[in-house]
Amino acid sequence: MLTVDSIETAYGVSQVLFGVSLAVGAGQVVTLLGRNGMGKTTTVRSIMGIARPRAGTIRFDGRAIHGLPPYRVAQAGLGLVPEGRQVFPNLTVRENLVATAANRAGSADPWRVEPVFELFPQLAARARSLGGALSGGEQQMLAIGRALMTNPRLLILDEATEGLAPLVRAEIWRCVERLKAGGQSLLLIDKDVGTLTRIADAHYILEKGQIVWSGTSADLRARADIQHRYLGV
């Protein structure tokens, strides 16, 4: 579904990615792991067209998407829940969901507001509150809901549980598992290796802008040395 092939991305003169390759298959849940500053978010920004790789290719369903502006990439079927959430603070919860909703792939059973509220009952209670007035956890739920409302074929979550209370994190993971059960393809960036090896199918570890290890959840669980060396756990 998504194939990233040896992309190199730089901000001005400082190169961040040195030939990153990864693949996400339909219905798969794949993670991107690594310590801070290793290039995880830059990889996501490159995929979404926010940062433009200067070498390498990115294909989505065989179609080259590198070099497209972000809204084109999004229209192609990629949905990003960005680091820091970035909900629209001056729109209500319901408006945040509806404003950018779309069903470009023509899904027979598209996401609507009610299913999102079913997924996150907390949001339903705050439907008329402004996005800026929500707690961090609620904003994260709203950001995920907003991305789902664009009916993305691949959903990317960048640090979706960062800075959230354990109970709220559990709530987010529960939702991710439900999405996976529903056949949603996912690319996850997170630090919670324990949970990720339970949920995800495959993992990629980034170190200084390069993929240094990749494998299945079983592989990763078995390799305490890898976890220790690259993830510091």
Partner 1 sequence: MAIAQRTIVLGVAGLLLALVPPIAALTNQPFYVDLFRRMMIFAIAAVSLDLILGYGGMVSFGHAAYLGIGAYAVGIPAFHGIDNGFLQWSLAIVASALTALVMGAISLRTSGVYFIMITLAFAQMLYYLGISLETYGGDNGMRLAARSKFGGPIDLDRPMVFYYVVLAILVLFLVLGGRLVESRFGMVIRAAKSNEPRARAIGFSPFRYKLTAFVVAGSAGGLAGALLANQTEYLTPEFMHWTRSGEIMFMVILGGMGTLVGPVIGAVVLLLLEDVLSALTAHWQIILGPLLVLVVLFAKRGLFGLLLGTASRDG
Point out which span in 7-15, 92-100, 118-126, 197-205 binds partner 1 (CB under 8 A): 92-100
CB closer to partner 1, 101 vs 226 = 101
Q: Judged by CB under 8 A, does residue 98 bind partner 1?
A: yes
Q: Judged by CB under 8 A, does residue 25 bind partner 1?
A: no
Point out which span in 9-17, 83-91, 172-180, 194-202 binds partner 1 (CB under 8 A): 83-91
The shares of helix, strand and coil residues in the chain, as percent rounded to the nearest 5, are: 35, 25, 40
Residue among 23, 35, 52, 88 that touches partner 1 (CB under 8 A)? 88
Contacts of 117 (CB under 8 A, 6+ apart): 123, 124, 127
Tokens coding 61: 């369903």
Residue among 8, 10, 18, 70 that touches partner 1 (CB under 8 A)? 70
Tokens coding 178: 């439900």
Q: How far apart are CA 226 and CA 149, in angstroms?
A: 37
Q: Which residue has the tokens 């007035």?
A: 133
Tokens coding 142: 């709203």
Q: Judged by CB under 8 A, does residue 211 bind partner 1?
A: no
> Considering Cα of 39, then 175, then 28, then 63, what sign does the dihedral take?
negative
Q: Look up residue 65 and give its DSSP letter.
A: -
Q: Judged by CB under 8 A, does residue 53 bind partner 1?
A: no
**168-207: contacts with partner 1 (CB under 8 A):** none
Smallest gap from Cβ 70 to partner 1, in A, equals 5
Q: Report H helices in 14-130.
A: 40-47, 70-75, 93-99, 113-119, 121-125
Q: Judged by CB under 8 A, does residue 37 bind partner 1?
A: no
Q: Judged by CB under 8 A, does residue 150 bind partner 1?
A: yes
What does the binding site for partner 1 look like in residue numbers (CB under 8 A)? Answer: 48, 50, 69-71, 74-75, 79-80, 82, 86, 88-91, 95-96, 98-100, 102, 104, 130, 146-147, 150
